[in-house]
């Protein structure tokens, strides 16, 4: 299995999971042009993709999908509720009927999935699980191939018992470290209601939330934890890293974790992670 983040942050989220035979793009929140450019940096073209998975309808996860679909022929794996929300939730650019354009682009392409039911794309098994977020049907997932497990979850407001269980035994965990609670409180750009939304139980996972999970619940099995969806306004990459690394060191030392923390970036792809 191989994993690469093409970009992650409030402005757009897209990553790729590959087996020897199968290449899957997850979310299309960057522009189609930027996705194509970053796929090329990673040695791929859009026509190499065997499927696109959409986790939820927020624009930072679907903003580039419609245009991308004119350059790829693969299916889009999306839940019925999310597909419906994709057609009615968008930022209007005042340029015609975006809803109709989206429906046209998706014609014959959607494969209905459920946010808590196993599905396969090629030889990669996906086990999605519901996460608490203010979208209609958001999910995280564990992807499996050849005995390797990769977990990916962003856009969730708090840890649940189900999520804790799903993260056990994974080789790589791509997980949200959205904001610093102090920086969010002090952020002069966001208004009060947006701050409330981000900090709520159905908002976004903070550096401190992630640190709690790492210290108290992380089983130490993942070789890599990639910090994802960092806010450009209410977080600082160095702070997110030090918070996570400190939390890792504070784990009970019964099973010393040899886990490497990597930051994802909104403007450039990560390295490839290979297993
Ligand atoms: Zn998001
Ligand atoms: Zn979201």
Quick one: which ligand is closest to 178's CA? 1
Residues 195-250 pLDDT 10s: 999 999 999 999 999 999 999 999 999 999 999 999 999 999 999 999 999 999 98
Residue ranges near ligand 1 (ion) with Cβ within 5 Å: 60, 155
**255 pLDDT exceeds 90?**
no
Q: Give residue 252 CA to ligand 1 midpoint distance, Å.
A: 32
Distance 10 CA to ligand 1 centre (A): 6
pLDDT value at residue 91: 66
Q: Which residues surround ligand 2, an ion (CB under 5 A)?
A: 58, 155
Model pTM? 0.96
Between the CA of 235 and the centroid of ligand 1 the distance, in Å, is 15
Round the average pLDDT of the chain to a whole number and report it.
95
Q: Which CATH superfamily is domain 2-274 in?
A: Ribonuclease Z/Hydroxyacylglutathione hydrolase-like (3.60.15.10)
CA of 7 from ligand 2 middle (Å) equals 15
Centroid of ligand 2 to alpha carbon of 93 (angstroms): 20
Question: How many A from CA of 72 to the centre of ligand 1?
Answer: 23
Given this model, what pLDDT does residue 90 score? 72
**66: its two tokens:** 């419609």
pLDDT tens-place string over residues 70-104: 999 999 999 999 999 999 877 666 556 899 999 99
Cα 133 to ligand 2 centre (Å): 7
Q: Given this model, what pLDDT does residue 95 score?
A: 59
Using CA atoms, how far apart are residues 272 and 269, in angstroms rounded to an integer?
A: 9
In this structure, the number of other CB atoms found within 10 A of the CB of residue 193 comes to: 8
Is residue 257 pLDDT above 80, yes or no? no
How many Å lie between the centroid of ligand 2 and the Cα of residue 27? 11
Which pLDDT belongs to residue 253?
A: 66
> Where are the domains positioned within the chain?
2-274
């Amino acid at each position: 299995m191989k994993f690469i983040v093409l970009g992650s942050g409030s402005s757009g989220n897209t990553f790729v999971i590959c087996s020897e035979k199968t290449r899957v793009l997850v979310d299309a929140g960057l522009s189609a042009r930027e996705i194509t450019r970053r796929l090329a940096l990673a040695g791929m073209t859009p026509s190499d993709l065997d499927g696109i998975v959409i986790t939820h309808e927020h624009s930072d996860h679907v903003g580039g999908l419609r245009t991308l679909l004119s350059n790829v022929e693969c299916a889009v794996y999306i839940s019925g509720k999310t597909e419906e929300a994709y057609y009615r939730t968008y930022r209007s650019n005042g340029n015609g009927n975006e809803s109709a354009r989206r429906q046209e682009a998706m014609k014959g392409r959607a494969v209905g999935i459920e946010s808590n039911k196993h599905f396969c794309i090629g030889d990669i098994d996906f086990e999605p699980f519901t996460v608490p977020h203010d979208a209609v049907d958001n999910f995280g997932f564990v992807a499996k191939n050849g005995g390797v497990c990769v977990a990916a979850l962003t856009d969730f407001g708090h840890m649940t018992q189900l999520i804790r269980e799903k993260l056990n035994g994974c080789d790589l965990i791509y997980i949200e470290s959205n904001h610093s609670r102090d920086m969010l409180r002090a952020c002069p750009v966001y208004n009060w209601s947006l701050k409330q939304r981000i900090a709520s139980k159905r908002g976004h996972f903070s550096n401190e939330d992630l640190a709690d999970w790492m210290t108290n619940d992380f089983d130490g099995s993942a070789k890599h934890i990639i910090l994802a969806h960092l806010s450009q306004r209410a977080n600082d990459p160095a702070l997110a890293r030090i918070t996570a690394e400190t939390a890792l060191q504070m784990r009970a030392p019964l099973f010393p974790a040899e886990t490497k923390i990597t930051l994802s970036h909104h403007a450039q792809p990560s390295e490839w992670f290979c297993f």
